[in-house]
Structure 1
Amino acid sequence: MRTSVIPEAVQERFNVVELHLDRWIKNGLAERVALIDLESGEETTYRELHRLACRFSNVLAEHSLELFDRVMIAMRDSRLSVASFLGAMRAGMVPFYVNPNYGVDEFKFFIRDSRCRAIIADRSTAEKLEVATREVGKHVKAMVNVDRDGFSDLLEGFRDEYPLAETHKDDPAYIVYTSGTTGRPKGAVHLHHDLVYAVGPYVSNVIDVREGDVFYSASKLYFSAGRMFGLHIPLMCGATSLIDPERSTPERVLAAISGRDVTHLLCVPTLYLRILNHLERLGVRTLERRALRYCVSGGEPLPASVFERWREVTGLEILNGIGSSEAEWIFISYRQGECKPGSSGKVIPGWEAKLVDESGQEVTEPYKVGVLYISSDSVAAFYWRRSEETRRTFIGRWYNTMDMLYFDQDGYLHYVGRSDDLFKVHGMWVSPAEVEDAILATGLVQECAVIGLPTSEGLTEVVAFVVPKDPSNQRLEEELKAALADRIPRYKIPSKVLTVDEIPKTATGKVRRTALREMAMSGLIKRAGEL
């Protein structure tokens, strides 16, 4: 058992930003480095981050934002994206990150759904957000572009002090948007006390955090895991977060490990595999890990082969885990020296978990599959403006994860899949319905169906089955992927397009996805364009 720097409980009046910033300054640690920008090398101390967050609080207050108003942040990772998030929470507002790579239509959805009162953008998003706001954002009071000429001077003109809003521990603190069963994003509303119960058990039982530690999350802040590992965990533990505005490639991750003495690394399994393959191409058989002590993984199942290869190259185990945006962080995990490759790990103390079978009974036998339910004070309170989905997902004190698992004779849990049709690619949810709609919108096919299939490395890829409008079109896959590039994010675009005469369906017209998997695994179906 490790000693945690996170309190076990909080007072009724509580603003979680105090645990990120104010307490370190009160304890004489203001000059510790909170953030390092990987691109520029610029360092930001806790005192400087505190002042910057306060200035953002004052900017938002200047625009007449009030308690619990939503603040949308669509920026590349930077010290300003961190400070704006903390500044909004400090003032009692409710921020949420949005992927800056989205297009105008996707931004319009978030503006409409959240009824956000303020939007904070940078040069990568400002133009798209201005278009979206003109069309659907009459309720938006402020549009702040941090890269606009003169903004730095403007920000410096605001006071660098702002009192912590006197929020209650059960007041909304921030929103995390996550994919719904229909593919429509839904906002999980987290309260001010949630992070205490998400971070505390993890740093007490899975990792330790020491003075001078440096965290590097390959996942960006606009992903739930990236925000947790790149913002909340390091800052709530008084450590340093290495902020990377660019896409995380194997080269960038390796440079961070070697050049910045990273101690805690987070990557999705796909990226760990890419790093291993990159090292193999370079002929590197042993990686000098320098300060690296912890390698964490989540977002998708970790293949046993990737775990073994990583341990052989680095001498470190990948601490695989299962978590969710609704739960806020990992609740099932490996622990150093207790890893069982191929499993998902064990429930972290501080969490409760149970498997429930189809009859609603708790599973008590090893190897029997059930739906995972978990319970903790870190679980979201509800979905924003989604009462039906809230009732279906949050049942009393239990959260229905919709993940299917079983436990073995040693108590290790094993992930089987989703109880719905969603699956993850590169750690991000893919809704078959959303991809199918996009494919049909291209006008190139009559019918289609999408599933996730394992690759030879044990990861998951998107595979589309289509009934072509023109069976003689040998460029169908190429044309389809090109048409989808403007419709859906890259990771949702099918890796393979397989042509069929018809899509197998049930008597009620539902797609038989199990039959599609069998067809794909048979190897008898041709890819689009093959003769």
Structure 2
Amino acid sequence: MDLDRTVIDVFGEACAKYADRPAFTCLGHTLTIGDIDALSARFAAYLQNHTSLEPGDRIAVQLPNVLQYPVVVFGALRAGMTVVNTNPLYTAREVKHQLNDSGAKALVVLANIAPTAAEVVAETSVEQVIVTEIADLHAPLKRFVINNVARHVKKLVPEFTFPNQVSFTAAMKQGASASFTPVQVSPEDVAVLQYTGGTTGVAKGAMLTNRNLVANMEQVREALAGNILEGEELYVAPLPLYHIYAFTIHCMCLMATGNHSLLIPNPRDIPAFIKTLKGVRFTGFAGLNTLFNALCREPAFQELDFGKLRTTVSGGMALTHDAAERWQEVTGCRISEGYGMTETSPVVSFNPAAAIQLGTVGLPVPATEVKVVDEQGNELPDNTPGELCVRGPQVMKGYWQRPEATAEMIDEDGWLHTGDMAVIQDDGYIRIVDRKKDMIIVSGFNVYPNEVEDVVCSHEGVLEAAAVGIPDAKSGEVVKLYIVKADQNLTEKDVIAHCRENLTAYKVPKSVEFREELPKTNVGKILRRELRDEVVTES
């Protein structure tokens, strides 16, 4: 495993070897690896010659799965900048925090979702906003048709304005007439700031270095040995590339091996998703439990051609036995489940396709050490539950500008304490048995109770609040709120409306229960676990 390469080294090797191979397809248009090479150089030239950004500066990328994403990300990295992956679903409050915390000087955003960022960009460090429309990298006629239909017929582009705005097409024209100067980058330089929550509820930027990302790419490739054939794969990409799980698979592993990804901009539109797959003989599928369930229930999905599907990988949330069995029944392909975290770039363990153990998250990927410890930090024997700890080249450099939070997560010996309770079986397979932290996972997205509670308690009608995760057949978990009222006229409808204004949709509570008081410790800390235990008892 060569840990002295950078992401751009890997990218350059792929461009030299596989320039003519298709890399990404979206909305009927395909870019080859050579196209990504040329276009990303053009975007890098724009950044170098027409903005104030310097190597090491941060650039926020707020895009769904469209062709512009790999062009922008590889262009920014080639210019020596750090990519700040930004969720397109974020509210104005969440966007503002991430832009300010990262110190991003530029933002690339899709026009469809731009109004949210437009509300707050003046209150951030962003100097330049690049706005793109969905078909900006299609051929001219098709671009004109798709963008105009989106804007004028489907009304998908709301009104917005930025004081420092340039269109993506204009930026690319400026880049085409400028020269790109390659930048020397170190394996230890931070390539991506990947934001994740924490026990404080404040989103923190995990500093993922070039070495972290390249190491995890190599680890995943070895774990998938025989299942990623050079230049022969077509993987469906429904999970957002701004999520580190999908980024590692599609922008790292598949690009590096000359393979092809079919981008799905909106996987929540299941009928359109299935229509996109019709007639496509895909070989791989990277998804999660919620999506497997949703697709397998659709008769139209069951009628697709799965004759070439050899590999299905699952991560982001626990894979249920029911979903795994149904997927295999419909597609004829078993699901290999893995485990990871944003802080581990992300993959820690994976079920080898030839030896899947359903109910486990597989074996540690190469060059990765794992152990479980008790509350005093003592290592525990096999088959004994404890907190899972991980050490390896994929473990993040630390949290951006948060040394204390980093020290809480990574000990002096380099062990990252995951906060997940696990059992390491005597055969080496890992089973996740519980979460030490109170984190809630909704359809693979992390929801941190303190953040939800902070927003809820900003409502003048709320005295106290506790957010917990409760089981849900569709999304794995949903958020339930327990509230003590300050205003007796407060209703569930009021609370939900307040949350919708301030939280991304998946963080919004699905139910609210009002209480006279909440269970607490003797020092006044609310006991969320007792509330969760009540749900388990009731069910």
Normalising by structure 2, what TM-score? 0.87
Where does residue 3 of structure 1 map in the other structure?
none
Where does residue 37 of structure 2 map in the other structure?
50
Mapped to 1, the partners of 2:428 and 2:398 lie a distance apart of 31
Which of residues 228, 236, 239 in structure 2 aligns to 1:209? 228
Where does residue 218 of structure 1 map in the other structure?
238
Point out the structure with the larger helix share. 2
Residues 15 and 342 (structure 1), Cα distance of their counterparts in 2 relative to 1, 3 Å cut:
closer
Checking the alignment, whether the CA contact within 8 Å between 2:469 and 2:479 is kept in structure 1 is yes
The secondary structure found in structure 1 opposite 2:201 is: coil
Checking the alignment, whether the CA contact within 8 Å between 2:280 and 2:305 is kept in structure 1 is no
Mapped to 2, the partners of 1:522 and 1:374 lie a distance apart of 33
Mapped to 2, the partners of 1:82 and 1:304 lie a distance apart of 34
Mapped to 2, the partners of 1:483 and 1:26 lie a distance apart of 52
Residues 154 and 169 (structure 1), Cα distance of their counterparts in 2 relative to 1, 3 Å cut:
closer
Checking the alignment, whether the CA contact within 8 Å between 2:290 and 2:475 is kept in structure 1 is no
Mapped to 1, the partners of 2:275 and 2:419 lie a distance apart of 38
Q: One-letter code of the match for 2:526?
A: V
Q: After superposition, what is the alpha-carbon deviation per residue over 1:373-398, rounded to whole angstroms, capped at 9, x for unaligned?
A: 11121221111111101111122322
Mapped to 1, the partners of 2:313 and 2:73 lie a distance apart of 24
The secondary structure found in structure 1 opposite 2:14 is: helix
1:513 aligns with 2:528: yes
Where does residue 265 of structure 1 map in the other structure?
285
1:468 Cα deviation from its structure 2 partner: 4.3
Checking the alignment, whether the CA contact within 8 Å between 2:290 and 2:474 is kept in structure 1 is no
1:164 aligns with 2:152: no
1:19 aligns with 2:10: yes
Q: After superposition, what is the alpha-carbon deviation per residue over 1:89-136, rounded to whole angstroms, capped at 9, x for unaligned?
A: 111111111012223222221221111122222313444434422123
Q: How many percent identity over aligned positions? A: 27
Query: Which aligned pairs between 1:87-98 and structure 2 lie closer than 5 A?
Result: 87-98=75-86
Where does residue 378 of structure 1 map in the other structure?
394
Q: What number of residue pairs does the alignment pair up?
A: 503
Residues 249 and 331 (structure 1), Cα distance of their counterparts in 2 relative to 1, 3 Å cut:
farther
Residues 359 and 151 (structure 1), Cα distance of their counterparts in 2 relative to 1, 3 Å cut:
closer
Residues 106 and 517 (structure 1), Cα distance of their counterparts in 2 relative to 1, 3 Å cut:
closer
Mapped to 1, the partners of 2:295 and 2:346 lie a distance apart of 24
The secondary structure found in structure 2 opposite 1:309 is: helix
1:286 Cα deviation from its structure 2 partner: 7.2
My pick for the range that moved more, 81-90 or 142-151, is 142-151
Query: Which aligned pairs between 1:109-258 and structure 2 lie closer than 5 A?
Result: 109-137=97-125, 140-147=126-133, 151-159=168-176, 162-206=180-224, 208-210=227-229, 211-258=231-278
Checking the alignment, whether the CA contact within 8 Å between 1:199 and 1:329 is kept in structure 2 is no
Gap runs ≥5 in structure 1: 1-7, 525-531
1:429 aligns with 2:440: no
Residues 174 and 469 (structure 1), Cα distance of their counterparts in 2 relative to 1, 3 Å cut:
closer
Which of residues 394, 402, 405 in structure 1 aligns to 2:419? 402
1:455 aligns with 2:441: no
1:470 Cα deviation from its structure 2 partner: 6.6
1:351 Cα deviation from its structure 2 partner: 1.4
Mapped to 2, the partners of 1:515 and 1:44 lie a distance apart of 52
Gap runs ≥5 in structure 2: 134-164
Mapped to 2, the partners of 1:323 and 1:445 lie a distance apart of 36
Mapped to 1, the partners of 2:268 and 2:277 lie a distance apart of 12
Q: After superposition, what is the alpha-carbon deviation per residue over 1:248-292, rounded to whole angstroms, capped at 9, x for unaligned?
A: 44334433443332222111211112222334xx7x867641322
1:355 aligns with 2:372: yes
Normalising by structure 1, what TM-score? 0.88
Which of residues 479, 504, 507 in structure 2 aligns to 1:489? 504
Checking the alignment, whether the CA contact within 8 Å between 1:85 and 1:96 is kept in structure 2 is no
Checking the alignment, whether the CA contact within 8 Å between 2:14 and 2:256 is kept in structure 1 is no
1:154 Cα deviation from its structure 2 partner: 4.5
The secondary structure found in structure 1 opposite 2:502 is: coil
